[in-house]
Amino acid sequence: MPSHLATLLLVDDNAMNRDALSRRLERTGYHVLVAESGEEALALAATHHIDLVLLDVMMPGMSGTETLTRLRQNRVLSDLPVIMVTAKDASGDMVEALDLGANDYVTKPVDYAVALARIRTQLTARRSDPLTGLPNRVLFMDRLTAVLQRPATTPDSGFAVFFIDVDRFKVVNDSLGHLAGDQLLVELSHRFQRSLRATDTVARISDCTLARMGGDEFTVLIDGVTAVDHACLVAERLLAVAGEPIALAGRDVTVTLSIGIVMSDPRYARADDMLRDADTAMYCAKASGKARVEVFDLSMLEAAMARLQIETDLRKAVVNGELALHYQPIVAMRERRLSGFEALLRWHHPERGMVSPDQFIGIAEETGLIVEIGGWALAEACRQMRAWDAEFPEHRDLVMNVNLSARQCLEPQLLGDVTRVLSETGLPAHRLKLEITESVMLAESDLVEKTLHALHGMGVQLGLDDFGMGYSALSYLRRFPFRTIKIDRSFVSDIDNAEKVEIVRAIAALAAGLSMNVTAEGIETEEQVARLRQLDCELGQGFLFHRPLTSDKAREVLRADSIDAAAARSVA
Ligand code: C2E
Ligand code: MG
Ligand code: MG
Q: What is the DSSP annotation of 530-563?
A: HHHHHTT--EEESTTT---B-HHHHHHHHHHHHH
Same domain for 383 and 452, yes or no, is yes
Shared domain check, 195 and 271: yes
In a domain, 426, yes or no: yes
336 C-alpha to ligand 1 centroid (Å)? 21
Which of 71, 98, 125 is the last residue before a domain boundary? Answer: 125
- 469: in domain: yes
Q: How confident is the model at residue 1, as a pLDDT? A: 38
CB proximity list for 515: less than 8 A, separation 6 or greater: none
Ligand 3 centroid, distance to 182 Cα (angstroms): 40
| 436 and 324 in a common domain | yes
The number of residues in the chain equals: 572
Q: Which ligand is nearest to the CA of 379?
A: 1
Pocket of ligand 1 from Cβ distances under 6 Å: 328, 344-345, 356-358, 361, 374, 377, 403-405, 435, 465-466, 489, 521-524, 541-543, 548
CATH, residue 317: 3.20.20.450
Question: Could you tell me the residue range of the domain that residue 165 belongs to?
Answer: 137-296
Q: Residue 119 is part of a domain; what is its CATH number?
A: 3.40.50.2300
Residue 466 CA, ligand 3 centroid: distance in Å: 4
Residue 132 lies in a domain: no
Look at ligand 1, atom 17, and give the residue with the nearest C-alpha. 522
Closest CA relative to residue 126, chosen from 117, 108, 113, 139: 139
The answer to whether residue 32 is domain-embedded is yes
Those residues whose C-beta lies under 8 Å from the C-beta of residue 553, and which sit 6 or more positions away, are: none
Pocket test for ligand 1, best of 355, 361, 366, 493 (most atoms within 8 A of CB): 361
Pocket test for ligand 1, best of 344, 355, 369, 490 (most atoms within 8 A of CB): 344
3-state SS of the chain: helix, strand, coil percent to 5?
Answer: 50, 20, 25
CA of 344 to the centre of ligand 1 (A): 6
Instruction: Tell how far the Cα of 342 is from the centroid of ligand 2, in angstroms.
Output: 7
Atom 19 in ligand 1: which residue has the minimum CA distance? 522
Nearest CA to 119 out of 86, 83, 144 is that of 83
Query: Are 442 and 481 contacting, i.e. CB atoms less than 8 angstroms apart?
Result: no
SS3 49: coil
Nearest Cα residue to 488 out of 512, 471, 476, 473 = 471
Q: Which atom of ligand 1 is nearest to the CA of 543?
A: 18
Q: Are residues 376 and 278 part of one domain?
A: no
Q: Is 508 inside a domain boundary?
A: yes
Q: Are residues 492 and 545 in the same domain?
A: yes
Residues 163 and 218 occupy one common structural domain: yes
Dist. CA 307 → ligand 1 center (Å): 20
**What is the DSSP pairing of strand 337-349 with strand 323-332?**
antiparallel
Same domain, 377 and 523: yes
DSSP state of 393: G
360-364: long-range contacts, CB 8 A cutoff, minimum separation 24: 360/310, 360/314, 361/405, 363/307, 363/310, 363/311, 363/314, 364/314, 364/405
- Do 543 and 521 meet the contact criterion of CB atoms below 8 Å apart? no
Check if the beta carbon of residue 534 is closer than 8 Å to that of residue 571.
no
pLDDT of residue 502: 87
Instruction: Give me the residues near ligand 3 (ion), CB cutoff below 5 Å.
Output: 465-466
Boundary of a domain, candidates 125, 146, 174: 125
Distance CA 492, CA 487 (A): 8
Pick from 296, 325, 350: which residue ends a domain? 296
Do residue 118 and residue 186 come from a single domain?
Answer: no
pLDDT of residue 444: 60
Environment class of 99 (CB within 10 Å of its CB; exposed 0-12, middle 13-18, buried 19+): exposed
CATH code of the domain containing 271: 3.30.70.270
Q: Does residue 419 form part of some domain?
A: yes
Does one domain contain both 370 and 513? yes
Residue 572's Cβ-count burial label (10 Å; 0-12, 13-18, 19+) is exposed
What is the structure's pLDDT at 472? 54
Q: Within this chain, do residues 398 and 540 fall inside the same structural domain, yes or no? A: yes
**How many A from CA of 521 to the centre of ligand 2?**
9
Total domains in the fold of the chain: 3
Answer positive or negative: Cα dihedral of 410, 413, 415, 418.
negative
Q: How far is the CA of 491 from the centre of ligand 1 (A)?
A: 15
Q: Which residue's CA is the closest to the ligand 1 atom numbered 33?
A: 403
DSSP letters, 415-453, are HHHHHHHHHHHT--GGGEEEEEETHHHHSSHHHHHHHHH
Per-position pLDDT tens, the chain of length 572: 333 468 999 999 999 999 999 999 999 888 999 999 999 999 999 888 898 999 999 999 999 999 999 999 988 788 899 999 988 777 788 888 889 999 999 998 899 999 999 999 898 888 888 899 899 998 899 889 889 988 876 666 899 999 999 998 988 887 788 899 999 999 999 999 999 988 655 556 678 899 999 999 999 999 988 899 999 999 999 999 999 999 988 888 889 999 999 999 999 999 999 999 999 999 999 988 889 999 999 999 898 888 889 999 999 998 899 999 999 999 999 999 999 999 999 999 999 899 999 989 988 988 889 999 999 999 999 999 999 999 999 999 999 999 999 889 888 899 999 999 999 999 999 999 999 987 666 666 678 888 999 999 999 999 999 887 655 556 778 888 999 999 989 889 988 888 888 888 888 888 888 899 999 999 999 999 999 999 889 999 999 999 999 999 999 999 998 777 677 667 65
Nearest CA residue ID for atom 4, ligand 1: 344
Provide the 8-state DSSP code for 128: B
Q: Which ligand has an atom closest to residue 468 CA?
A: 3
Cα 110 from Cα 106, distance rounded (Å): 7
Residue nearest to atom 34 of ligand 1 (CA): 403
Closest CA to 105 of 120, 125, 83: 83
Residues within 5 Å of ion ligand 2 by Cβ?
A: 403, 435, 465
Please give the model's pTM, rounded to 2 decimal places: 0.67
Q: How many CB atoms lie within 10 A of CB 30?
A: 21
Please tell me the residue having the least CA distance from ligand 1 atom 8: 344
Measured between its terminal Cα atoms, the distance across the chain in Å is 93
Give the type of residue at 200.
Answer: D
Is there a single domain that holds both residue 227 and residue 316? no
148 domain-assigned? yes
Whether 340 maps to a domain, the answer reads yes
Q: Which residue CA neighbors atom 5 of ligand 1 most closely?
A: 521
Alpha-carbon distance of 22 to 40, in angstroms, equals: 16
Q: Ligand nearest 546 Cα, by number?
A: 1
**Are 522 and 401 members of one domain?**
yes
Is the backbone peptide bond immediately before 60 cis, with ω within 30 degrees of 0? no
Q: HSE-up of 109 (CA within 13 Å, CB side)?
A: 3
